[in-house]
Structure 1
Amino acid sequence: MVTMIEIDHLTKRYGAFTAVDDVSFTARPGVVTGFLGPNGAGKSTAMRIMCGLTPASSGEARILGARYRDLTNPALQVGTLLDASAQHAGRTGREALTLAAIAIGAPRTRVDEMLSLVGLTPDESRRRLRNYSLGMRQRLGIAGALLGDPQVLILDEPANGLDPQGIHWMRGLLRGFADQGRTVLLSSHLLHEVEQTADEIIMIGRGRIVAQGATSELLAGQGTVVASLDGARLAEALRREGHAVSGAADGELTVDTDGETVGRVALQAQVVLTALRPAQGAGLEQMFLELTAGDARGTNGQEAVA
């Protein structure tokens, strides 16, 4: 099976400034991949290169085994949403989708199907885009991305402007798309939503990848949390075996080993356990802040190339 999105040593320079710095990763079929980073980290630049809108200084971005510009009618294979506001304000939503369908050769029946899918009513579809809310523009943009029934979705901040109900709807939409064996690359600042939606995460800071892997593995805690009827005795026994132990003796202890080992030590020490579970990870937000601390912006910071 062809890897759906493959980024190979991608670099983009603007004079002395490097927006994307030797980035390599893949986004696979059947997987929602979260593409994260602070403002100015290079996410949007990388996505524009993938979609053929910005040339790379070096390296390559391939979709379905080819560069975007080399695909035959790429809009039927790759659905994109990079800027929901980049639509003609004087057209209606239906007109915008109809013209897009004609341009890419998609069946006209897809217009009504997509309007229904994204929850835009017939009355809303007849409104001028200048009268659309941000959330309605996002829904129309998602409809446009799906219009050609693509195998790949590349979405930059698709939840921007959506209310909680809309975000929940989008999560199900993307999950269903990936479950069909298709590929989703999703950029978002809504970290809690990405944590619930993405199977894998690519995180960049200052143009470079700072973390990548399965979401569950990246966010997994290390070690074991244990509680017992004699915490001091258990802690002493664990330390004798060479394990690091933290926490109060009269409460839960965190140990730098697996639960089976903790259980064996407790049995040997004849200590009754009342709780034993894997340590929990810090969560995506804390990991994001720790890994991108160098990109933190002060109140007087200037916006960099995204």
Structure 2
Amino acid sequence: MITVESLTKSYGGYTAVDHVSFTAAPGRVTGFLGPNGAGKSTTMRIMAGLTEPSSGSAHILGRRFAELPNPGREVGVLLDASAQHAGRTGREVLRINARLMGLPGSRVDEMLDAVGLTEEESLRRVRNYSLGMRQRLGIASALLGDPEVLILDEPANGLDPAGIRWMRDLLRGFADGGGTVLLSSHLLNEIEVVADDIVVIGLGRIVASGTKADLLASAETLVRADDLRGLHAALVGAGLASTPADGALLVSGDAGHIGRIAFAAGIAVTELRAADGARLEEMFLELTASTAREGNAA
């Protein structure tokens, strides 16, 4: 469980995170979304104990990161896959981390196998790794201590389509096993596939949060009829907003009410159903249109 309450971080006169509150629950993947400069990375750095908040709190399993007795055994963190010692081999990176956590050396081999790094690749120096290999090594480090919580910032960067699918299955399996996953990614279609809950941040403030199903649900009704023009006029006359959509109308209203209006107007309806939910990209762009700051750090 991750609990963030009224979290605020200011730098001089600039507020990067402004009274942010949300939770990430066990057994679920929470997608953490926002445009560049929205405050995602700052929030995640505070969670991981790398940045002190100006006020508010971020707790993992009921404690601040600094209060966890052996953090790597409770929370796995990947914020920057490139922030690894370039002169060490992948195996050395994991071996050192395992010793710090008090883990047996066999755990290193387990994690290399789990993330798909071969023996040959594990003996290369990190400076010679591709970005995708560094991501796999970073994920291995995050999973090394068999934690209950994962905090991952853009973990799919540099992965090919097969790697992205592997990442999706790994996170889904971790959550299905009772783990808590907080995932930030610019690959909105991947978030849409794997996330159970979504938190959207813009200009340092939460602009939307809830289950994916609720946030993407559409309140509109799709209706088709041979006389669309007449139906549109009848609906507008009844005070309902109606817009054309691929040979049909999207109407802000209840299907039963719309059907009665069409019947009263003598118009035969050929299709009447709830409209498909919005896609995550559409929802994201709509929610963050006024908060996007392209080119700024998050």
Q: What's the TM-score once normalised by structure 1's chain length?
A: 0.90
Instruction: Measure, in 2, the Cα distance between the counterparts of 1:83 and 1:47.
Output: 11
- Match of residue 16, structure 1, among 13, 16, 20: 13
- Per the alignment, in what secondary structure is the counterpart of residue 155 of structure 1? strand
User: What residue is the counterpart of 1:288 in the other structure?
Assistant: 284
Map of 1:211 onto structure 2? 208
Give the superposed CA RMSD.
2.1
Check whether the contact 2:35–2:293 (CA below 8 A) recurs between aligned residues.
no
Equivalents in 2 of 1:236, 1:63: separation in Å?
55
Distance (Å, rounded) in 2 between the aligned partners of 1:206 and 1:236: 41
TM-fit CA distance, 1:97: 0.8
CA contact under 8 A between 1:222 and 1:280: conserved in structure 2? Answer: no
Residue equivalent to 2:44: 47
1:33 aligns with 2:30: yes
1:216-237 residue CA offsets vs partner (Å, 9 max, x unmatched):
2212222111112343454455
Contact 2:198 2:209 in 1 (8 A): yes
Question: Is the 1:101–1:147 contact (alpha carbons within 8 Å) kept by the matching residues of 2?
Answer: yes
- Indicate conservation of the 8 Å contact 2:36/2:292, yes or no: no
Give yes or no for contact 2:38–2:292 (8 Å, CA) kept in 1.
no
Q: Which letter does structure 2 place at the counterpart of 1:165? A: A
Tell which deviates more after alignment, 37-46 or 106-115. 106-115
Query: How many angstroms apart in 2 are the aligned matches of 1:50 and 1:70?
Result: 12
Give the AA of the match of 2:147.
P
Aligned 8 A contact 1:76 1:106 in 2: no
| Stretch of structure 1 that moved more, 142-151 or 214-223 | 214-223
Equivalent residue, structure 2, for 1:252: 248
Which is worse superposed, 202-211 or 234-243? 234-243
Match of 1:158 among 155, 158, 180: 155
Q: Does 1:229 align with 2:220?
A: no
Residue aligned with 2:44, SS: helix
> How far 1:149 moved relative to its partner?
0.7
Pairing of 1:237-276 with structure 2 (within 5 A): 237-239=234-236, 241-247=238-244, 251-266=247-262, 271-276=267-272
One-letter code aligned to 1:100: N
Alignment length, in residue pairs? Answer: 298
**1:165: Cα distance to partner?**
1.0
Deviations 1:237-290 (A, max 9, x none): 545654333328x93112212334334555566654332332234422232223
Distance 1:245 1:297, change over 3 A: closer
Q: How far is 1:30 from its partner? A: 1.1
Unaligned runs of 5+ in 2: none
Checking the alignment, whether the CA contact within 8 Å between 2:37 and 2:293 is kept in structure 1 is no
Closer, same or farther: CA 147–234 of 1 in aligned 2, 3 Å: same
Work out the percentage of aligned pairs sharing the same amino acid: 65
Question: Which one of the candidate residues 87, 97, 109 is aligned to 1:90?
Answer: 87
Distance 2:175 2:100 in 1: 26
Query: What SS does the corresponding residue of 1:289 show, helix, strand or coil?
Result: helix
2:174 corresponds to 1:172: no
Q: How does 1:76-225 map to 2 (within 5 A)?
A: 76-225=73-222
1:200 CA displacement: 1.1
Letter in 2 for 1:253: L
More displaced stretch, 190-199 vs 51-60:
190-199
Letter aligned with residue 214 of structure 1: T
* 1:199–1:215 contact (8 Å) kept in structure 2: yes
8 Å contact kept, 2:87–2:125: yes
**Counterpart of 1:10 in 2: which secondary structure?**
strand
Q: Find runs of 4+ consecutive structure 1 residues off by over 6 angstroms.
A: none
Cα offset for 1:82?
0.8
Amino acid at match of 2:270: T
- Residue identity matched to 1:137: R
Distance 1:64 1:94, change over 3 A: same
Q: Distance in 2 between matches of 1:70 and 1:113?
A: 28
Counterpart residue type for residue 85 of structure 1: S
The residue identity in structure 1 corresponding to 2:269 is: L
Report Cα offsets for 1:19-71 as digits up to 9, x if no partner.
11110111111111111112221111111111111111101101101111111
1-side partners of 2:91 and 2:32: how far apart? 30
